[in-house]
Amino acid sequence: MKCMKCGQKASHSYQIDFDGVEKKISYCKKCVAEVLRNSVPLRKIAGVPDETLKKGRHVFEDEMVVFVEIPVYVLEQMFGKWHPQEREVLLNERKIAFLERKLKEAIKNEDYRRASRLKQLITQIKRKMDVK
């Protein structure tokens, strides 16, 4: 496995699980020391940027921001930024997991219109991921 920062052989790998979506983070010894040296305690992180809260594209925008985008933002604050494509893949995986849970909930409550809309959103995100 390669270091996410410098591309050398990774000596430290971490597997993080947020709401059922797993993310592997790998660093070499030098980069781990740098990340830890530059890390900010979680309680001192300023918060979520306004642009994250303003962009609402889905019917479930408020909940999706809380369960999909904010954890990714916190991970970036803790471990550093990811490559934009890697970040987009992680966001899409988290969105799909979130929407699939909402779909099961809608089917259980027999809300078939909502279930249909959720299915459309899931299909749309999966198509978007296949294109790239």
Go through 37-50 and write b for each residue having 16 or more CB atoms within 10 A of its CB, e for each that does not. Answer: eeeeeeeeeeeeee
Range 22-47 average pLDDT: 71
Look-up: residue for tokens 């299915």?
A: 119
CA 36 to chain centre: 21
Which helix or strand (DSSP H or E) is residue 115 part of? helix 112-131
Q: Is the pLDDT of residue 28 over 80?
A: yes
For residues 126 and 28, what is the distance between their CA atoms, to the nearest angstrom?
Answer: 33
Q: Where are the domains of the chain?
A: 1-38, 41-131
What pTM does this model have? 0.54
Over residues 58-112, the pLDDT tens digits come to 445 666 777 778 888 888 888 788 888 888 888 899 889 999 999 999 999 999 9
